[in-house]
Structure 1
Amino acid sequence: MAIREGRWDCPTCGTQGLLGRQVRCDGCGNPRPEGVRFYLPEDAPEVTDAARLSEASAGADWVCEHCGASARAGQTHCPGCGAVRGSSPGQQTHEYGMDEVPRSGGRQQPVRALGAAAPPRKRRGWKGPAALVALVGGLVWWNGPKEVTATIAAKEWSRAVEVQEYRTVKEEDWSVPQGGRQTNSFRAVRDYRQVLDHYETRSRQVSERVQTGTRTYTCGQEDMGNGYFRDKTCTEPEYETRYHTETYQDPVYRREPIYDTKFAYEIERWLPDDTSWARGDASRQPAWPTVQIDRNEREGARIERYVLRFTDEDGKTHEQEVSAEQFARYRQGQPVTLRMKRSGSGKIEIVEPEKDGS
């Protein structure tokens, strides 16, 4: 494990970057105090000198409880006052992770004087949000409603009556419905089921993580309490991905039909046979077409559609399907107000006049 020499800053006179081995400050001569903060610069070289390595490995320094002088671990008497070490405290040791190692003496950043102007704050940009708001607002406006004055240019209506015939039809099903007359029965496939048929041997590539050894790496530093730092090492397993071929049994299924009895039968049904239409415009009141009903026939569904066509003040034409009540209420040539999207797409709405007392 590599050993590197750290540094310390004198808390008395402020001298910085004193070598870790120094027990006195070069600037003021005061002894290195108890609890001083050792730090390790990023570019601190590895110690290779045998004497320095022996000094580092001797253990943490201690601080004389009588005069405050700092002494090496191997010294039994204080170098300052000559007192026996006794119960004099030793410098604390610490273990740091790689991102926790102190790289400086920890001096505080200068504090802004009371009343001094604060650094100017960077103004937040506004052009982007404002442009986005304008864009969204423009889209809302474009797709929003507008009202235009128009005239009813034409009215068209159409009505239809379906004619159904009651006739005999031939059908097939898994049962004969009420009223049906069976004419035949036969076996037919009603459904399918999946049935295991056999297994096939297949192969595939399989990956696995295999440990191939261990790796030792520097994972931190130990403050040895004497101005030196020792690498802290950790180990971790090393892996590699290996592949091998394995075989497996893959099930193969077949579709097996499920048979049941199916019936052929005759039955009477009401079925669409014809449709009678009536069409007209504003000159003719809407009416249902005259339907000729023969034997075994009846009227079926009724369909009606009413359309108003408009011409607006710009000469543009519009068309809207309306209810029978609206069709009867509006007359050709009558001015109306239409509500529509500015884009001209979508449904048109007739703005109804407010009723008295509403």
Structure 2
Amino acid sequence: MAERRRIIEGSWNCTSCGARNIPARHKNCPSCNNPRELTGKESEFDFGDVDPVTGKSTREGVTDAQALDLAGAGEDWFCAYCGASNRGDAKVCRQCSAERGSDAKAAPVADLSPKPPPAPAPKPRRLSKAWIIVLAVLGSCCFGTCAVGYWGNLEHDLQGEVVATSWRRAVVQERFVPETHTGWRDQLSTTAPRMPVNGAGEVPGVTNIRGCVSRQRGTRRVADGTERVCRTKTRKVACGTEEKCSRRDKGNGFVEEVCHDVTKYCNESYEDCQTETRYRNEPVYAQQCDYDTYAWKQMDQRELKGTDEPPRWPQLSAGANERVRREESYRVSVRYEDDGVKEHVLEPTREDEFLQWKKGQGVTLTVTNLGKVEKAVRR
């Protein structure tokens, strides 16, 4: 497409008398005859608005010969002696007749290239109720809870006394007995059992695999044909032309506007159809069988409990293919005062630790301001 060019005339404001919108062809203010100078706002021109889509100026282009001649005279220059503005092709200042020298100042040229539209301001995000609660908790931590936590972790010593001790001991008798289990055939391998010796070294074994039946073990995903699936998508397609314009500041109160037609693109919806594999879940079957094996089974249990007397084990022996398993637990109750009478329970894991605690014995407890017992030491 052919280019279309036109000249747009700007306007300036006089800072001496306040006259506004003076056409650029006037180098002096029509009201007060003050020459347009480089200082202040007089060196700046207003070229009007442009269409936000096409970039085309909303002002009419000039057609008279005088304005076109001024526009083609080159960039204005300002006299180094009197400061008056002059045509770009003038050799001497029109105001004071001083010759144009290297110290003459050029008129400022504005950058009128199209600017990308500003990014939309992000929408303020509203905090959910949950986040408001979280922030409130964090805020309170910074100004209150953290201080409370620091105070709460401070420790102090309190004096207490052992008021009770107790123990429990149990002996469990177990026997290695035959059992029938069920398992998947591919996971079973015939293994001879071995009986325990002194309650150890046993092997359960797998023997007499029998009664295998087919049962569902799970599912698997298998192809079940194909199907045509269509999805709506969007693409850019040419849909005619549109005018686009750009402007260049000539440095003398005029801009040159160049317009041309470019391809216009529009959004078009279309159906994207493809053949896709369809799947279904298919049951998976396997052989499940019964088999003989051995396992430890509890046969008997005897228990003893006590308080002041030393701990002892109940009597229970192990016969052939048997073993005994021992269980023990200990408790020491310490009473102390901390804003009232309180009790702390110790649980030693071994007999020798338990026997070091005696009823009536003094105890020093290290307690936090929040009441947590961190340590208990016999006195």
Q: Whole-Å Cα distance in 2 between the matches of residues 310 and 218 of structure 1?
A: 92
For the pair 1:332 / 2:346, whether they are aligned, the reply is no
Code of the aligned partner of 2:160: A
Q: Counterpart in 2 of 1:304?
A: 328
Q: Counterpart in 2 of 1:198?
A: 225
Code of the aligned partner of 1:148: L
Q: Counterpart in 2 of 1:114?
A: none
Q: Counterpart in 2 of 1:289?
A: 314
- In the TM superposition, 1:76-95 aligns within 5 A as 79=94, 91=107, 93-95=109-111
Unaligned 5+ residue runs, structure 2?
Answer: 1-5, 50-57, 117-137, 194-205
Question: 1:162, 1:275 within 8 Å by CA — same for their partners in 2?
Answer: yes
- The two structures have a TM-score, normalised by structure 2, of 0.62
C-alpha spacing 1:47/1:203, structure 2 compared with 1 (3 Å): closer
- In the TM superposition, 1:93-104 aligns within 5 A as 93-97=109-113
- In the TM superposition, 1:182-331 aligns within 5 A as 182-184=208-210, 186=212, 188=214, 192-210=219-237, 212=239, 216=243, 222-229=248-255, 238-240=265-267, 242-244=269-271, 246=273, 248-257=275-284, 259=286, 264-281=290-307, 283-300=308-325, 302-313=326-337, 314-324=340-350, 325-331=352-358
Code of the aligned partner of 2:181: E
1:23 is matched with which residue: 15, 22, 27? 27
Question: 2:180, 2:290 within 8 Å by CA — same for their partners in 1?
Answer: yes
Tell me, what secondary structure is at the counterpart of 2:111?
strand
2:172 is matched with which residue: 162, 168, 192? 162
Residue range with higher mean Cα deviation, 333-342 or 190-199: 190-199
Superposition deviation, residue 157 in structure 1: 1.4
Q: Whole-Å Cα distance in 1 between the matches of residues 175 and 28 of structure 2?
A: 120
C-alpha spacing 1:249/1:339, structure 2 compared with 1 (3 Å): same
CA RMSD of aligned residues (A): 4.9
Unaligned 5+ residue runs, structure 1?
Answer: 101-127
Superposition deviation, residue 165 in structure 1: 0.5
Q: Counterpart in 2 of 1:7?
A: 12
Code of the aligned partner of 1:311: R
- The two structures have a TM-score, normalised by structure 1, of 0.65
Code of the aligned partner of 1:285: P
- In the TM superposition, 1:40-189 aligns within 5 A as 40=45, 46=59, 50-51=63-64, 54=68, 57-63=71-77, 70-72=85-87, 79=94, 91=107, 93-97=109-113, 132-173=142-183, 174-179=188-193, 180-184=206-210, 186=212, 188=214
Q: Whole-Å Cα distance in 1 between the matches of residues 239 and 156 of structure 2?
A: 76
Aligned length: 318
Q: Whole-Å Cα distance in 2 between the matches of residues 160 and 167 of structure 1?
A: 22
Superposition deviation, residue 287 in structure 1: 1.6
C-alpha spacing 1:217/1:336, structure 2 compared with 1 (3 Å): farther
Superposition deviation, residue 148 in structure 1: 3.0
Aligned-residue identity in percent: 19
Question: 1:3, 1:53 within 8 Å by CA — same for their partners in 2?
Answer: no
In the TM superposition, what whole-angstrom CA distance separates every residue of 1:148-202 from its partner, at most 9, and x where no partner exists?
Answer: 3322221121122221102111234422233233242635456654332322344
Superposition deviation, residue 81 in structure 1: 8.0
C-alpha spacing 1:296/1:218, structure 2 compared with 1 (3 Å): same
Question: 1:157, 1:305 within 8 Å by CA — same for their partners in 2?
Answer: yes
In the TM superposition, what whole-angstrom CA distance separates every residue of 1:17-65 from its partner, at most 9, and x where no partner exists?
Answer: 895444358989667569x984245978946775485366435344499
Code of the aligned partner of 1:7: W
